[in-house]
Amino acid sequence: MQVLSINSHVCYGHVGAQASLLPLQRLGHDVHHVPTVLLSNHPGYGGLGGGPVKLIRFDDLIDNMIARGFVDHCAALHTGYLGQAGTEAGVLRVLARLRAQRPEALYLCDPVIGDNERIYVPAEVATAIRTRLLPVADVVTPNRFELELLTDQTVDSLETAIAACHRLRQLGPDKVVCTGAATVDGSLTMLALDASGVYVVTVPYLAGAPVGTGDAFAATLLARLLLDCPFPDAVALAAATVHGLIRHSLDAGTGELAVVAGQEEIVNPSTRLSVSRLDAAQAV
């Protein structure tokens, strides 16, 4: 399968495209990447160089991808960090062309807005994601904080997380995955919802995880879905992959997500995570 990925690019480290391209490639997909920002590194190093790709340049890249028919052959569109308002317009142009050529193509929107109670995109970007991209997305993968922002609902328990995920589905996406929806007995609970029901994946918690895990998760999930893996199983496999990558990262002690050293986790996760379906009463 061919995938168009619109995401950030860093020169050093594994976040954004540097965390998402390899999972897609290792699972057999050919990825075309359009950068939204060009940065020397992620902000965790205390400073950085670079900035957003100027909209005139971004639009030029997008429009030439469309004009030359490169988009027509893609089975999916993936978006991550946008960085500035106006980028969403290019995303929508690509999606319109893609769906005109391949109506069955998937759009996975990773709504990168913030984490740990901190927003790190302009308010206009968060608004564009909520009002323009979510309604046309097939799959959306917010963390708990992003789920709160996108639904304007407090998420402080598994029950409130489920309610917020239902609300998010009402905005448009068929499939919703909330990473880190709740913490129970030292484990992270991941929620997955689609028309068939509500599913839970419990992931052993590893302290000190590096940045980039959300990028890797979204890409691995999309890669599995494109291989016709059932949605709940794809979520469990993607979660297991990221768990394994975190372990490799902690062992290496570099502070970066070990997507290269731990790349076997992408294809064959060393930890098998089970997925359970909540009954109707629990899912209300």
**Domains of the chain by range and CATH?**
2-283 (3.40.1190.20)
Average pLDDT in the 153-178 region? 96
- pLDDT of 184 reads 76
- pLDDT of 186 reads 80
**185 pLDDT higher than 80:** no
pLDDT digits (tens, 9 = 90+) for 106-161: 999 999 999 988 999 999 999 999 999 999 999 999 999 999 999 999 999 999 99
DSSP codes joined into one string, 44-65 = GGS---EEEPPHHHHHHHHHHH
The pTM of the full predicted model, rounded to 2 decimals, is: 0.97
| Confidence at 266, pLDDT banded by 50, 70, 90 | very high
Q: For residue 33, what are the β-bridge partners?
A: 5
| Confidence at 60, pLDDT banded by 50, 70, 90 | very high
Pairwise CA distance, residues 181 & 254, whole Å: 27
pLDDT digits (tens, 9 = 90+) for 13-56: 999 999 999 999 999 999 999 999 999 999 889 999 999 999 99
pLDDT digits (tens, 9 = 90+) for 76-105: 999 999 999 999 999 999 999 999 999 999
Cβ burial 161-178 (10 Å sphere, 16+ → b, else e): bbbbbbebbeeebebbbb
Of the chain, the percentage scoring pLDDT greater than 90 comes to: 93
pLDDT digits (tens, 9 = 90+) for 112-126: 999 988 999 999 999
The contacts of residue 55 (CB under 8 Å, 6+ apart) are 84, 86, 87
| Confidence at 280, pLDDT banded by 50, 70, 90 | low
- pLDDT of 75 reads 98
3-state SS record for 183-209: EECCEEEEEEEECCEEEEEEEECCCCC
Of the chain, the percentage scoring pLDDT greater than 70 comes to: 98
Pairwise CA distance, residues 160 & 46, whole Å: 35
Tokens linked to 112: 């990168």
- pLDDT of 65 reads 97
- pLDDT of 42 reads 93
- pLDDT of 282 reads 61
**183 pLDDT higher than 90:** no
